[in-house]
Amino acid sequence: MAAPLTLLVIVAVTIRAALFRSSLVDVISERVEVVSPLTAWKRVVEGLALLDLGVSPYSGDVFHETPLIIYLFHFLVDYAEITFMLADVMTAVALYLAVKDYNKQVFRKQKYALEADRYPHDCHELIRSPTEMFYIPLKVAMFYLLNPFTILSCVAKSTCGLNNAVIAFFILSTIKGSVLLSAIFLALATYQSIYPLTLCAPALLYLMQRQYIPVNFRRVSFWWFIAQYAFMYLGSLCVIICLSFFLLGSFDYVPSVYGFILSVPDLTPNIGLFWYFFAEMFEHFRLFFLCVFQINVFFYTIPLSVKLKEHPVFLIFMQLAVISIFKSYPTVGDIALYMSFLPVWSHLHRFLRNIFLVSCVLLACSALFPVLWHLWIYAGSANSNFYYAITLLFNVAQILLVSDYFYAFLRREHHLTYGLYLKRKDGSEATLVLK
Amino acid sequence: MAAYRCYYPAVLLILCSFSVFVVADTEDATLINGQDVTALNSPQTASKTAAQTAEQPAVEERQWEATASAAAADDQDRTPDTPAPGAEVQPVVPPVLPEPKDSFQEELVFRPLHSGDIYASFQFRTLWETDFMRGNKVSHYRLFPKSLGQVISKFSVRELHISFTQGYWRTMQWGQPFLPSPPGAELWVWFQDSVTDVDGTWKELTNVLSGIFCASLNFIDSTNTVEPSASFKPLGIGNETDPRFLRYATLPREIVCTENLTPWKKLLPCGSKAGLAVLLKSEKLFHSSFHSQTVHIRPVCQDWQCKTTSWELRQTLNVVFDLHTSGQSKREWSLFKMFSRTLTEACPLASSSKIYIDITDNPQGEQFELTPATTLLSQAVVLGDRRTFSVYDLTQQATFGNTRSLNLLIRWKSSEGDMLRPLLHAERYVAGYGLQTGEIHTLMYNNHPYRSFPVLLLDSVPWYLRLYIHTLTVTSKGKDNNPSFIHYQPSKDRVRPHLLEMLVQLPPNSVTEVTVQFERALLKWTEYTPDPNHGFYVGSSVISSLVPSIVAMDTNSTRERPLFSSFFPCKEESSYFVRVYTEPLLVNLPTPDFSMPYNVICLTCTVVAVGYGSLYNLLTRSFQIEEPSPGLAKRIANVIRKMRGVPPL
């Protein structure tokens, strides 16, 4: 398996290196879909330039990266291209290893269930075979490395790639069962952008499942494990925050990074829902809707955890998708991360209802983004509504995609319990509905 | 001192009595000009004040003073019948008139321009020896406008400079103006260091000034105010240069018109009733290519020793009349043609009232002809160039001649002649296309043939054009020209603008190009001006420099000067201060659709609801086998059976 992965990495690096050398770099790095005010490489360079001038990069409203990113690129600014390529490769390898391990566990569980004869007899079609699962990790790595979204993000040197790498390492360490590393990487991801905080729920569920700790509020072991994890998480977060404080000698970055993420002052167009909504918002409702939209990102964590408590990895996928749809400054790099998980759920394809329509819409929107942007900004023959309409459609397509996968997942679980070919009481073929 | 007093107690007593006498004496004596007693007494008072102010006065000086006073005392003792010299003249002076501590001067300068246009600059100067900072004690105003005096004392202003300008000064065609100003309104104020809340005071001050001058100065807020560290030094006395007490703001969009001129005229002691101010009629003044009116208040020295300070209020009005838009075919200008008035008298309150006409390029009268002619000539070094002026003194009745009115006429004889290129000038433009990014180019020209000089460039760019300082390039003659000093303050969204100040050395005879890239922000729909597609103004860059003087440029002229004076090129007037303003910029920003707030809110909320709804649906419901729904008749029957309490079908 190492050889195809190496080949894949070589291909991916070659594509990126070729694009870095081409004239497309300047065009790509200006694209609002690829870089957001939070992740733009231009702003990282600006922050470094401000440091050189002796001005705190957080005294202005251009730089919104965390101090660790400044520290990293203080040394690596000349090797930025290699850093970003390396981050992508590491993300892909981490996802590869994580999915490989996860598949092993899935297969083992399925074997136990089969041996215990827990599945209904007509469910043989739903049982996953090792040959089908063999190429999934490679497909995941391929989906990440060869996804045009990832490639664009990497070529634009969007720091989203680094955040993705941190999240991928978090997933890998969680699936490998390393509590400490999981907490550390989760703290890093939270520190980079607040939203991955919601990933603590699937991590806890997964680690508890692995350590055979029942999810039961009345059990001491449950609370003890949560306290352990919270201690490790908060401890590493504290260390990171103190480290950033000592790097720049002030807490200026807190309002400039987290305040910026939460209060959305920069309305530069992007693929998300926030920019036009808050550009057109009535002033006295602004705070209300800001709270509603931000809570919306965190809101789904608890119900999803309750529903998917047996399937934490699918919960991770759901959370990543929800974050990348509803976060304040989304870029295509965020979408690439959750899309790389799609091959893991390839066994759900028979239950997907509108995957064809959704993928068509996603493809069409991706093509229309630059077109309508050009019409609005450069040609002047369209206005902001055109671009806004495309972002709306794109987000609707993403929502449909995610909810479709969720539906398919729940339905497969239902069939695994109640049998694939359901019959009514009178013996005729039944249709399954949500009630 | 104490020991000294012990030695000469008697002498001290006499000294004290005499000093009181002398002080009264000199005050009266200055009133009657040309008395010898002034000269006699002044050294004594001078040395006395020196002794009072200095902590450790020299012993010899004190001795000299003591002997002098002793001699005077001897004088008094010896001749008790004849009064002292001061007392001798005292009965002559009526004591009811105190010395007026304020004075007023007015001036009008004309500079005929080579294009046939004419540049007229009014200067009104009110000087007042007073201390505004003593609280509300200043209540008696004579020449100084009370409204401004109250502003100075209430807001603890140390220096205040306002200008309102319509049109752009074309340096390459017109040369340097006497007093440069950027298009729109400009305001910069130095506060006293006793002010604790500078920003609050500044906010109040701009609102008050907005009322005084009928201008939109109340639009000055933190988003267009900067604290330049080097470009705007105090012009008056005072060595406090902490930029925390300086505020600078421009409103490039401000339109200047009659409503700003009327309150400005009211600040003059004679109003527009007499003196040069009768010429200020708005129907003509605003029918011009350039119009600028300013108010400058600063503390200045009363005398060359700077023992007492007084406040100077300088009001200037600069106007350039265009030959073509005035609709005349002949190249000639008269006071009447320019202002539709002639002059009949000086302002009676003015201590001097003069008209200057720049005739440097016209020494033999070959360029233009002046009527009535005047024999009075004056030379002055203006902006590093030695200029000759014809002077008309309005306080002299002879100036007005028989007709009792002065209508100056300047008639061109030839349209030849060339202007010396200004040594420093600058221009600015926005490059790039589309509404996403752009680049500001500032070009600074050094036209000096062999001398390079440093300039301070100040740029204040609104926050919605996000500057990227790492893209800053300074090139001259195709090479990088690294600024020796950069002061950059990045912007904060909706709070403060970008401030970029840098010191650049301009090589001789070169163009220096400063470029910096910016990104255009999308604003909230309420933050746009009512005409958003007109664009947003960016205030002028300010270039401040000490430019080598044109007089000093001429190293070869040994014609008129003795040889021993002309070897080293540096002279005391070897450089002069120039401030150059570039054009303001007009930048378009991307706009949202202003008619759509409801639609956008509805549509976005719908998408969020789709997300919420589909997840909610899957989270709360469970899969069940669909039961065929019973027919309508069966359902109705069931409802009836339920009411009857019978189990349903």
For residue B34, is it within any domain?
yes
Whether residues B447 and B551 share a domain: the answer is yes
Percent of chain A with pLDDT over 90: 88
For residue B525, is it within any domain?
yes
Q: How far is CA A279 from CA A275, A381, B28, B525, B597, in A?
A: 6, 21, 72, 6, 9
SS (HEC) of A225-242: HHHHHHHHHHHHHHHHHH
- Identity of the amino acid at A369: F
Considering only CB atoms, B621 lies closest to which of A277, A282, A434, namely A434
The band of A280, judged by pLDDT with boundaries at 50, 70 and 90, is very high
Q: What would the mean pLDDT of A380-395 be, rounded to a whole number? A: 95
* Other C-beta atoms lying within 10 Å of the C-beta of residue A46: 23
pTM: 0.85
In chain B, residues with a C-beta closer than 8 Å to the C-beta of A435 are: 621-624
Considering only CB atoms, B493 lies closest to which of A266, A322, A430, namely A266
- Residues A392 and B608: their CA atoms lie apart, in Å, by 10
Contacts of A234 (CB under 8 A, 6+ apart): A187
Q: What would the mean pLDDT of B210-218 be, rounded to a whole number? A: 95
Assess A370–B contact: CB distance below 8 Å, yes or no: no
Q: Which of B77, B101, B132 is the endpoint of a domain?
A: B77
- Residues B376 and B395: their CA atoms lie apart, in Å, by 14
For residue B144, is it within any domain?
yes
**Upper half-sphere CA count for residue B19 (Cβ side, 13 Å):** 16
Q: What would the mean pLDDT of B74-101 be, rounded to a whole number? A: 44
Judged by CB atoms closer than 8 Å, whether chains meet at A280 and B522 is answered as: no
- Residues B366 and B548: their CA atoms lie apart, in Å, by 30
- Residues A209 and A219: their CA atoms lie apart, in Å, by 14
Q: ∠ at Cα B474 (B471, B476), nearest 5°?
A: 150
Mean pLDDT of chain A: 93
Q: Which of B49, B77, B105 is the endpoint of a domain?
A: B77
Q: How far is CA B145 from CA B150, B187, B256, in A?
A: 9, 19, 22
In chain B, residues with a C-beta closer than 8 Å to the C-beta of A396 are: 607, 610
The answer on pLDDT for B89 being more than 70 is: no
Residue B481 has a pLDDT of 93
Closest CA–CA distance from residue A268 to any residue of chain B (Å): 6
Whether residues B539 and B577 share a domain: the answer is yes
Q: What would the mean pLDDT of A388-392 be, rounded to a whole number? A: 96
For residue B113, is it within any domain?
no
Most confident listed range (B15-29, B406-420, B467-481): B467-481
The band of A419, judged by pLDDT with boundaries at 50, 70 and 90, is confident
Contacts of A68 (CB under 8 A, 6+ apart): A191, A240, A243, A244, A247
Residue B83 has a pLDDT of 38
Whether residues B161 and B72 share a domain: the answer is no
Judged by CB atoms closer than 8 Å, whether chains meet at B463 and A61 is answered as: yes
Whether residues B147 and B227 share a domain: the answer is yes
Residue B6 has a pLDDT of 42
- Residues B327 and B416: their CA atoms lie apart, in Å, by 21
Residue A234 has a pLDDT of 97
Residue B138 has a pLDDT of 67
Closest CA to B1 of B68, B87, B63, B71: B63
Percent of chain B with pLDDT over 70: 78
For residue B531, is it within any domain?
yes
Judged by CB atoms closer than 8 Å, whether chains meet at A392 and B494 is answered as: no
The band of A220, judged by pLDDT with boundaries at 50, 70 and 90, is very high
Scanning A1-30 for CB atoms below 8 A from B yields: 30
Considering only CB atoms, A432 lies closest to which of B592, B600, B625, namely B625
Q: Which of B331, B363, B382 is the endpoint of a domain?
A: B331
Whether residues B470 and B555 share a domain: the answer is yes
Q: What would the mean pLDDT of B46-67 be, rounded to a whole number? A: 38
- Residues B420 and B172: their CA atoms lie apart, in Å, by 9
In this structure, what CATH number is given to the domain that contains residue B521?
2.60.40.740
The band of B204, judged by pLDDT with boundaries at 50, 70 and 90, is very high
Judged by CB atoms closer than 8 Å, whether chains meet at A46 and B622 is answered as: no
Higher-scoring residue by pLDDT: B240, B39: B240
In chain B, residues with a C-beta closer than 8 Å to the C-beta of A48 are: 470
Whether residues B603 and B557 share a domain: the answer is no
- Identity of the amino acid at B144: F
Residue B52 has a pLDDT of 40
The answer on pLDDT for B607 being more than 90 is: yes
Q: Are B392 and B406 in contact (CB under 8 A)?
A: yes
In chain B, residues with a C-beta closer than 8 Å to the C-beta of A376 are: 435, 590
Strand, helix or coil at B7?
helix
Q: Are A47 and A383 in contact (CB under 8 A)?
A: no
Its domain, for residue B600, covers 596-649
Whether residues B623 and B578 share a domain: the answer is no
In terms of CA atoms, which chain A residue is nearest residue B602? A277
Total domain count for chain B? 4
DSSP-assigned letter for residue B579: E
For residue B98, is it within any domain?
no
ipTM attached to this prediction:
0.95
Token pair of B34 as six digits: 């040309």
SS (HEC) of chain A: CHHHHHHHHHHHHHHHHHHHHCCHHHHHHHCCCCCCCCCCHHHHHHHHHHHHCCCCHHHCCCCCCCHHHHHHHHHHHHHHHHHHHHHHHHHHHHHHHHHHHHHHHHHHHHHHHHHCCCCCHHHHHHCCCHHHHHCHHHHHHHHHHCCHHHHHHHHCCCCHHHHHHHHHHHHHHHHCCCHHHHHHHHHHHHHHCCHHHHHHHHHHHHHHHHCCCCCCCCCHHHHHHHHHHHHHHHHHHHHHHHHHHHHHCCCCHHHHHHHHHHHCCCCCCCCCCHHHHHHCCCHHHHHHHHHHHHHHHHHCHHHHHHHCCCCHHHHHHHHHHHHHHHCCCCCHHHHHHHHCCHHHHHHHHHHCCCHHHHHHHHHHHHHHHHHHHHHHHHHCCCCHHHHHHHHHHHHHHHHHHHHHHHHHHHHHHHHHHHCCCCECCCCCECCEEEC
Whether residues B244 and B142 share a domain: the answer is yes
Assess A399–B contact: CB distance below 8 Å, yes or no: yes
Q: What would the mean pLDDT of B104-116 be, rounded to a whole number? A: 89
Considering only CB atoms, A430 lies closest to which of B525, B614, B625, namely B625
Residue B99 has a pLDDT of 61
Q: Are B197 and B454 in contact (CB under 8 A)?
A: no
- Residues B63 and B45: their CA atoms lie apart, in Å, by 15
Total number of residues shown for chain A: 435
Higher-scoring residue by pLDDT: B87, B587: B587
The band of B75, judged by pLDDT with boundaries at 50, 70 and 90, is very low
The answer on pLDDT for A411 being more than 50 is: yes
Q: What would the mean pLDDT of A144-160 be, rounded to a whole number? A: 96
Whether residues B578 and B614 share a domain: the answer is no
User: Under the phi-then-psi rule, with left for phi > 0, alpha for psi from -120 to 50, and beta for the rest, what region is B417?
Assistant: left
Whether residues B575 and B611 share a domain: the answer is no
Contacts of B111 (CB under 8 A, 6+ apart): B118, B119, B121, B175, B357, B358
For residue B174, is it within any domain?
yes
Strand, helix or coil at B523?
coil
The band of B565, judged by pLDDT with boundaries at 50, 70 and 90, is low
Q: Where are the alpha helices (DSSP H) in B301-398?
A: 335-339
Contacts of A212 (CB under 8 A, 6+ apart): none
Whether residues B168 and B309 share a domain: the answer is yes
For residue B408, is it within any domain?
no
Whether residues B461 and B538 share a domain: the answer is yes
Residue-wise DSSP of B225-249: EE--SSS---SSS-----GGGEEEE
